[in-house]
A and B are shown apart, each in its own frame.
Chain A
Amino acid sequence: DAGVIQSPRHEVTEMGQEVTLRCKPISGHDYLFWYRQTMMRGLELLIYFNNNVPIDDSGMPEDRFSAKMPNASFSTLKIQPSEPRDSAVYFCASSLAGGPGEQYFGPGTRLTVT
């Protein structure tokens, strides 16, 4: 069975541009999480969904960030406009309802904003 799929794997963009990151969770999983990882701040939870509904977005840094989950098999994280400080690795993870802490991570998207 396929794991969590993320695209693109690498993204290089200029400051001010819109960036869209995509995630396909494992089929049957009820929870979907978006994380950001940097050397300075470590791994941070940005937002998570349960059954496609956003539950906690308190980790979203500011209004430039938005996330959607239109159906059970797809989610996007959008940054508009992007800034150099957004450069990081963005991970998507999914889990079953019975064990939201037992998550399966995708390979991540390495974002560089110049």
Chain B
Amino acid sequence: RKEVEQDPGPFNVPEGATVAFNCTYSNSASQSFFWYRQDCRKEPKLLMSVYSSGNEDGRFTAQLNRASQYISLLIRDSKLSDSATYLCVVPYPMRFGAGTRLTVKP
């Protein structure tokens, strides 16, 4: 089993849709988790940190299930600007998932 596995995607959704990504991890000792987004040919940028059961920031919700060792990212009312690759990160050391590509269409 890979240390961090993500839905491969791509996800193609219309504007306004709700979309969810899952990420499973193997290191049961990890206490914190992160979601980064990466636009094409750009650097990754921190989207959300997850230190307990979950976190919510506007249209974005991250949830953690320690028993099943997965975290999810939910995007509500998706915008064209949400189109990017979303990377799940499990420390330490920092292990990045392969990323899930999202395209939001008009």
Interface residues of A, Cβ cutoff 8 Å to B: 33, 42-45, 48, 56, 58-59, 91, 99-108
Contact = CB atoms under 8 A, between A and B. Distances in A.
A56 B92 CA distance: 10
Q: How large is the interface on B (under 10, 10 to 19, 20 to 34, 35 or more residues)?
A: 20 to 34
A54 B44 CA distance: 23
B46 A106 contact: no
Interface of B: 32-34, 42-46, 49, 87, 89, 91-99
A108 B93 contact: no
Contacts of A91: 43-44
A105 B43 contact: yes
Given A105-B44, A108-B43, A99 B93 contact: no
A105 B34 CA distance: 14
Given A33-B94, A43-B44, A91-B43, A101 B89 contact: yes
Contacts of A105: 43-45
Nearest to A103: B46
A114 B24 CA distance: 37
Contacts of A103: 46, 94
A43 B90 CA distance: 13
Nearest to A91: B43
Ordered nearest first, which 9 A-B pairs have the shortest CB separation? Answer: A105-B43, A43-B96, A42-B98, A101-B91, A45-B94, A101-B34, A105-B44, A45-B93, A56-B93
A43 to B, nearest CB: 4
Given A42-B96, A45-B93, A48-B93, A102 B34 contact: yes
B103 to A, nearest CB: 18
